[in-house]
Every structure is written in structure tokens, then in C-alpha cells.
Structure 1
Amino acid sequence: MSVDRRGFLFGAATITTSGLLGYAGTRPAAAQAGPRTAPPTRPRQDWLADLADDTPVARLSLPGTHHSGVRIGGARIACQGRTIAEQLDAGIRYLDVRCRSYHSALVVHHGAVAQQLLFGSVLLTCEAFLRAHPSETVLLRLGQEHSTVPDAEFRRVFDLYQAGFRRLLRLDATLPTLGQARGKVVLLADHPKLPGIPYGDTKLLAVQEEETAPLAAKYRSIERHFHHAAARPGKLYVNHVSSAHRSLPESNARYLNPRVHHFLTGHGRGLTGLGVVAMDFPDAMPGLIDAVIRHNRRFAGAAGA
């Protein structure tokens, strides 16, 4: 793969969709992270380092984000306030990325709204983070959004990225242990032709993603999913603390996130193995990410043991 082609696929983080065809650059450093705030404390960046290698990833409690790269398009579209680099630094270990296939590139979208972000830039950000913090892992759900290309074409474009990130991506169809996942992006394939862990396989995953339920009912589903995850280990539980019910994503997050924080630090504080907790605007609720992380205490052990 030529340097120019790699730059086109992997480095054009701020390019607009209309400009994709004319871009032929190398990997710009600014594309990897975007604006940065002061980094959080070291435990946030390396919090998986204290957990034993033989811990099944499915038994972890992993803070995550919903529509992780969606920050532009106005209040009706935006689901996050931080860049992906900032999310990883803050302790997020699950990313939800949905892309449109456009002229042999994957462009991050929310519905029809392009996010001026390419899938390759997401991978570059993960690569840089995991190189600096090799004890960590990132679970990444990849799906197709606002795209009608045939499944085989979406896979062809994905394979262009795969060729440039072979060492980074874990594409096995089985749930790993933490030791097997360290330093890797573990792909959750929300597409029938992609490699990785099939996101729709109910033998491996249990997903709560009720987007349109009234908020009170939605919260009950979230809490019920936490209890199921703790009581019925084996699958990877994915619990979406996000809602598209009537109001704006940020407004719904202001309702749901404090209630989840109250549960995690209150009568649910003794539960473990909660799985992925995928949130909108988790940074807006102080202590929420840390509250998820604290549910991993029982798995503490020497990394690499």
C-alpha cells in the first residue's frame, strides 16, 4: 500500500466527506487525537493493568460510549463531548463506531450526518493509545451507517484498513481473556461480512439497546440488564445507557446517567461482571466512569501472572 493511499484511508481525520476524493496526503499528526485537555490521572489510563490476565473480558465491567465519534451536527445529533483520544484517556474501553462506505473509505456517520472523521483515524488513535498503555484493550463495535453498498463491498473497504493494522486488530470470533486482548482492538462485527466477534450472536453477546422506550422504562431495562449480567455470566453483556426517546441525546443522558451512577454506587455496588456500559456524554456526570471501573475489584491480580 502506498504512503499516499495509507494517508487517504488512515490520516484524514478532519477532511469533509465532499473532499474525500481529492485527498492524497500522509498521516498528519493532528488527525490522531484532535484538541486535548489536561490528561486524567494515570490510573484512568492504565486501569486494566491491575487485573489478572486470565480474567475473561466478558466478566469485566467496561465503561464505553455510544456513537463514540459523533460530536458534530448540532444538539439533535451529537452524542459525545470528547474526542476518542480523550475518551480513552478518561478510562473508556468500548467504542461504538458506525460508518458509511464512500469511495473506498469508511466515514463515521450518525444517520445522514458525516462526522468529518475516518475509520482509519479512529484506529490510529487506538494504536497510539495502546502503544503507550499496553496493559489496556479497546473493544470496538463496527457497523454500517447511512450506506447501501453491498455487503461484499463494505468488507472490501474494511480489508483495506485491515491490511494496515494487522497487529492492532484482534479478529477472532471468540471472546478473549484480558491477557489475549491486551494491546489489541477487539472487533465486534456489527455487519454480516466482517471478521471478529459477531455482534448479533446471542450465544456470545446479550445486548440491551432500547432506543425509543420512555425514559423510566429505559432505566428499568438498564438496571435489569445489570442484574442479568452479574447473575448469568458467560456472555458479554452490552448495556446501552442512551436513548433517542423524544428529547435530545444530552437531555436524555441528564436523566439516565445520574440514575446509573446512583445504582452503581448504591444498592448495585456489590455486583461484578456488568459488561459494557455504553453511554452518551459520560464525562458530564462526575464519577460515572470511575463508578463502572470500581466494579472490577474482585478481578485484581498481577498482570502477566
Structure 2
Amino acid sequence: MRRLSVPLALVLAASAVTVAGPGGTARAYSAPESYRSLRADAHPDWMAAVRGDASLAELSIPGTHDTLAVYGGVVTETQERRERGDGRGGGSLAFQLRAGVRAVDIRVRMVAGEDGRGRFSVHHGAVYQNANFDDVLRELGAFLREHPTETVLLHMHGECAGGIGGCQDADPCPECGTDHNHRRRQIFDSYAEAHRELFWQPSVTGAAPVPDLDEVRGKVVLVNWSGPHGGNYPDYGLAQLNYADWADEWGPQKNCYVQNSYRVDGISRINDKWEKVHAQLDRANRSADCRDPGAPNGDKLYVNWASGASLLAPPSVVAGGTPTATGVNGFLYECLTGRNNRCDTSSVRRTGVLMTDFPGHGLVDEIIRRNPARH
């Protein structure tokens, strides 16, 4: 999301009091099943019941946008904070995985580690999220060792675009004479090499085809790896999703497999964001490929970002709604459960990868139950 200046952020935080409860926790005005109500250990092994020969493109996968953005207040936070209290970062990620989330979105800043080598810390804008990429890989590895029937899809993004309210990368090797994009990829490659057993290698060594589930059980699949100013780095992730740049907040949808327009200019625009999510659900469930109408669609992976924000509508409001406006999560839950004629529910046979802020347990349940079961 676009970085906020400090004065404007303070104005927004003050205005958000009207939609916040005790301790700053935003209330849910949508169905509580849809918003901020993940349940511990609800779905630790749900992929065990899914056909192994099913392509990831056939699946319905719950995901979280800005997965570890759990510090910084109403402007910055996008997920429930569920840290363990042991001083190690990443507890909220571990909680989400056990609750059923299988697609995560990690935003990183370049820093120099204690050994002087380049490392990644996890940020949302200028706010450090009390976690490093080492914590992310530790939690992913621990979860997949304990639950080897599962896979996790990883979206990686270089967070530091600069500007007021943003972060600046701390180049760990200024004497190397390489630009930050090159250094960022070098650092990621060093992590991938050190954790070869964790990553599905085709996704970190070249643009990969969309795999079947059995190929990637127990592994992390890198979906895409993008820089701070947009644009996916070549030779990473899934090739099908990288034929064109993903949209930015100002522009139209450039890649029909990905809906990631996140600008919501106020509460009155939440419905507009829902319509974009709804349109992407429709694309995923058509018989024809959105890019090539003469080709089938069932083997194409769709990614749908339900998250959105602006100065006048922070993430919790866009997701959870207000007394006068249903949140995007509420719209989604109504659509998937057949309530209020929100959509043609019977036509939503798969959701694709659905990335949300503050998901609720019922929303996760509805996404998971659309997956092809073992016979």
C-alpha cells in the first residue's frame, strides 16, 4: 500500500476510533465468521484430504495479505496478532498456518546481519514487524515437517520504496557496486540455497510450471518475487502468473490471472473493491482462459487479493466494514455461503488463491471446502 505521511497517519488513527473497540481492536460489522476470528489448529492438515494429482490451479487456497503486519496500529496492521511471547518473531504466521492459511505474503527490507552478510527483515512500510526472514523460514519449515501433506505458497515483495512513511533498504554491501534489485535477489538466493530442502526448487531456480499438489507436498512454492516499485523479477515463481506485470494501485489490471488493485478511497468505495474481487472469482470459474479465450481455463492459477486500504479506509475497515458498510470479507462470506444474493454461489466452484486481511474462520472453512477430495 502507499506509504502514509506521519501527520496524515495520525489523523487517520484518530478518525478510526469510531470503528474501534477497547484497546484499538477494530469491531466486526460483517458476519463474525468472516472477520478476525481464525481458530487455532482448525485446519492443520486439510490438504491431506485433497487429490494429489490435482494441479494447484484447481485448488481453492486461503491466504493472507501482508501476513506478518501485526504491529504499528490501525494504519499498518492487516492480521491478528498471535505471537507466542517467547521473543521470537513469526508466531502469527505459525498460528495462521495451523488455522488453514496456505498462501502467505512476506514484505522484506535489506539489512546487514551480525556477520555482515545481507539479510531480510520483515516490514510493512517503515514499521518493523518484530520478525526476520529467518523467522519466516523457521516457522514454514517447522510446520511442513510436522504436516508433510501440506504446501505453502509464498509471495515475496521488496518493501522499501522510500518516501515519507516508507522504509529505506540498508545496503549490506555498498562497495559491491550492484544496484538494490540485484542485491535483493542475491540475498534471496542465499536463503534459498541454505534451505534447499524447504523450497520446491523449480520455483526458485527458474520460471516454473504450475505443479500438481503431490509434487509440492512438504514444500514452499515461490509464486512470485517482486521489487519495491512493482514488476516481478524474472526467473522466479510460476511462469503462468508472470506474463505481464501485476497492476499497481493507480492502473488497470494488466495481468488477468491476478487481481491486486488495493486502493480503496474511503468507506464508500469498499463496494467497488468487492466488485473487483467478484469479477476475479468469475474469471477463475469461466470455461475459457482469460488470456486466451480459445484455451481451457481449469489449468490456470488465479490470485485474488481481497485486501485494500487508503488514508480514509484502513485495512481493518475495508475487511470488516462499518455500521453502514459491509466489509469485503463480509461480501465474500455472503457470496460463498449463498446469502443476500451476493453472487451466483453455485458458480464459484473454486476460488483460486484468495488473499485477505483479517480473515475469519468461516471464510477459511468456505474456501477449503471447495477443493477436490480424494476418492
TM range, smaller chain: 0.7 to 0.9
- Shift of residue 39, structure 1, vs aligned partner: 3.6
- Structure 1 SS opposite 2:316: helix
Structure showing greater radius of gyration is 2
Task: Determine whether 1:292 maps to 2:367.
Answer: yes
Deviations 1:85-143 (A, max 9, x none): 00000000000111111121111111122112111111110111111111100000011
Alignment of 1:61-76 (within 5 A): 61-76=60-75
From 107, 110, 125, the equivalent of 1:101 is: 110
Distance 1:91 1:205, change over 3 A: farther
Q: Residue 236 of structure 1 corresponds to which residue in structure 2?
A: 301
Match of 1:259, as an amino acid? F
From 334, 340, 348, the equivalent of 1:271 is: 348
Q: Over aligned residue pairs, what C-alpha RMSD do you find? A: 2.1
Distance 1:194 1:74, change over 3 A: farther
Q: State whether residues 225 and 239 of structure 1, in contact with CA within 8 Å, keep that contact through their aligned partners in structure 2.
A: yes
- Structure 2 SS opposite 1:168: coil
Q: Residue 8 of structure 1 corresponds to which residue in structure 2?
A: none
- Shift of residue 196, structure 1, vs aligned partner: 2.8
Deviations 1:120-179 (A, max 9, x none): 111110111111111100000011111565221111111221122101101322211001
Task: Determine whether 1:137 maps to 2:162.
Answer: no
Distance 1:187 1:205, change over 3 A: farther
From 94, 107, 114, the equivalent of 2:128 is: 114
Corresponding pairs, count: 260
Task: Determine whether 1:218 maps to 2:273.
Answer: yes
- Structure 2 SS opposite 1:276: strand
**Distance in 2 between residues matched to 1:256 and 1:159, nearest whole Å:** 36
Structure 2: where are the runs of 5+ without partners?
1-37, 82-91, 113-117, 161-167, 170-178, 203-207, 227-232, 246-254, 287-296, 321-326, 339-343
Task: Determine whether 1:197 maps to 2:198.
Answer: no
Q: State whether residues 242 and 249 of structure 1, in contact with CA within 8 Å, keep that contact through their aligned partners in structure 2.
A: yes
**Distance in 2 between residues matched to 1:47 and 1:251, nearest whole Å:** 30
Q: Which has the higher helix share?
A: 1
**Distance in 2 between residues matched to 1:51 and 1:38, nearest whole Å:** 21
**Distance in 2 between residues matched to 1:269 and 1:91, nearest whole Å:** 23
Match of 2:238, as an amino acid? I
Structure 1: where are the runs of 5+ without partners?
1-36
Match of 2:44, as an amino acid? Q
Kindly, what percent of the aligned residue pairs are identical? 35
Q: Which has the higher strand share?
A: 1
Q: Residue 282 of structure 1 corresponds to which residue in structure 2?
A: 359
Q: Residue 164 of structure 2 corresponds to which residue in structure 1?
A: none
- Shift of residue 295, structure 1, vs aligned partner: 1.2
**Distance in 2 between residues matched to 1:48 and 1:205, nearest whole Å:** 27
Task: Determine whether 1:262 maps to 2:334.
Answer: yes
Q: Residue 319 of structure 2 corresponds to which residue in structure 1?
A: 253
From 256, 260, 270, the equivalent of 1:209 is: 260
**Distance in 2 between residues matched to 1:56 and 1:272, nearest whole Å:** 15
- Shift of residue 269, structure 1, vs aligned partner: 4.4
Q: State whether residues 225 and 236 of structure 2, in contact with CA within 8 Å, keep that contact through their aligned partners in structure 1.
A: no
Output the TM-score relative to the length of structure 1.
Answer: 0.80
- Shift of residue 215, structure 1, vs aligned partner: 1.1
Match of 1:107, as an amino acid? S
